[in-house]
Chain A
Amino acid sequence: MAYGVRLKVWGDYACFTRPEMKVERVSYDVMTPSAARGILEAIHWKPAIRWVVDAIHVLEPIRFQSVRRNEVGSKALSGKIKSAMKRGDLGRLQLRVDEDRQQRASTVLVKPAYVIEANFMLTEKAGEDDNEGKHLDTFNRRAGRGQCFHQPCLGTREFAAHFELIAPDADLPASIDESRDLGFMLWDIDHHAKDRPSLFFRAALESGVLKVPRPNSPEIRR
């Protein structure tokens, strides 16, 4: 890869929620490409570039734990916000947690650690002064110093991700010696598609490495 980057990320917990199990969240076994993209974008992103994840190396055994928490059952309704704006009064604009409570369990990954291999391409929004070298330097400089736009996370924001750049000439840390079929996994979400935005691919762990298909390749299904 001409403009490849390699980033090691790890943390205490992770939850890459399976879309079919969103209420009582169950995590995928391995980080999804879209979560990996989010981590890269937390460090450096501009509309001029698009991150493409090539592979995800799993460095630690896949283990799960269950956590149950009190969560609120509803979102902030825009209609209510609007009417409060019109009235000029905040009355009744709040969420009462004790009346709108749901206890939900999450099945989360324990002590995950990954290496994300990725590269980026320029989008049509790239201007005159956007070139690959510049963005690559920016990313490497930031990741090398531990700088970020916001602290990246492993799936959800309460599970912060620590990250470390792996120098281009350094060896990759060893991945786990495990191969398994991970079934259909979320590849990413196409926010421009109206009706079926989620894209999936058939994921398989081969000696601890999850190969991710390129965008627009036939392996990706809607």
Chain B
Amino acid sequence: MSPLANRYDFALIFEVTNGNPNGDPDAGNLPRLDPETNKGQVSDVSLKRKIRNYVELARAGEEGFHIYVQDGAILNDQHRKAYRALRPDDPKVDKDAKLNPKDDAEAIKLRDFMCLNFFDVRTFGAVMSTGVNCGQVRGPVQITFATSVEPIMPLEITITRMAATNEAEKKQKAEGEDGDGRTDNRTMGRKHIVPYGLYVAHGFISSKFSERTGFSQADLDLLWEALCNMFEHDRSAARGEMATRKLIVFKHENALGNAPAHVLFDRVKIGRNVDGAFRAIDDKGIGNEPPARKFSDYVVEVDESGLKDIGVEVHYPGGL
């Protein structure tokens, strides 16, 4: 498990079609919007959740790839029960005594144990209440909010259900209407969708922090795999069709980096495809173009000129 020798900056470009990529709890689960620009957003934690879920699926039960911040039911619990049956002399239930490590050395032991066993702690870090300066592990991977390339237009879709939740509701409906039997039990619901949105998130991987948490090259490859495939295993009624369209990785020769991240991200240009030609998003001349509804309405260009000379390589993991 050797740590990374390079710094990485990456741009993740993903799309949503007729779905809600990330609901806003403040706005009744409408897709998140930047109120000033009307561009859509997907929060950092939403993307991290998907990475965790993917790793949990892809590496189920493998040593060292457990996920600490769990979502829902855990299959491994079944396996563990078997373990416990095999080792009856282990204490069955540990009482939650308030324990704090005696000293820094022990805090480091606890930290290393967590990093060794849990992929998400190793990758994103975790806050552990060890009583020694909070025992924070800062993970090497940092992900920012994803923002849509153009303003999005969330639609509110009203849907109906042919069943009532309970008897009372059914009565209420029946009293209110003198319609046919079909409408008696009907309840209305709401869905919010984005017809189409192309989103970009930026991420950073610090090689120096990978030394501290033991984030290895194998973990990095798994992270790229997760970023490319995380939407494939996150299908639901709310999400619609989501997919990673492009993952652009800038690999720096130097552990500290060879170029400022923002300069590299500026080389990723996303424009509208007008009869095969690249037109910038803020080009006044494309005002009459119909709204984008598919990925081919956009053009993604990466300016790779001269990057080799400054010691930065561009990769497209997953062949995207």
Contact = CB atoms under 8 A, between A and B. Distances in A.
B43 A67 contact: yes
A84 B77 CA distance: 14
B269 to A, nearest CB: 17
Contacts of A65: 34-36
Interface in B190-240: 202, 204, 206, 208-209
Chain B contact residues: helix, strand, loop or mixed: mixed
Given A12-B147, A68-B26, 5 more contacts: A71-B45, A94-B69, A95-B69, A158-B142, A160-B204
A76 B258 contact: no
A105 interface: yes
Interface residues of A, number: 51
Given A67-B43, A79-B97, A160-B261, A94 B206 contact: no
Contact of A77 (B34, B69, B96): B96
Contacts of A76: 68, 114, 121, 126-129
B24 interface: yes
Q: How big is chain B's contact interface, by range?
A: 35 or more
A158 B74 CA distance: 28
Contacts of B126: 75-76
B138 A150 contact: yes
Interface string A84-106: 11010111011111100001010
Contact of B208 (A80, A97, A149, A162): A149
B206 to A, nearest CB: 4
Contact of A78 (B25, B45, B128, B258): B128
B260 A82 contact: no
A68 B25 contact: yes
B70 interface: yes
A99 to B, nearest CB: 9
B118 to A, nearest CB: 8
Interface of B: 7, 9, 24-26, 32, 34-36, 43-45, 49, 66-72, 74, 76-77, 80, 83-84, 90-91, 94, 96-101, 107, 109-110, 113-114, 117, 121, 126-131, 133-135, 138, 140, 142-145, 147, 202, 204, 206, 208-209, 254, 256-263
Contacts of A22: none
B90 A89 contact: yes
A66 B127 CA distance: 24
Given A78-B99, A150-B209, A83 B43 contact: no
B110 A78 contact: yes
A180 B219 CA distance: 48
B90 A87 contact: yes
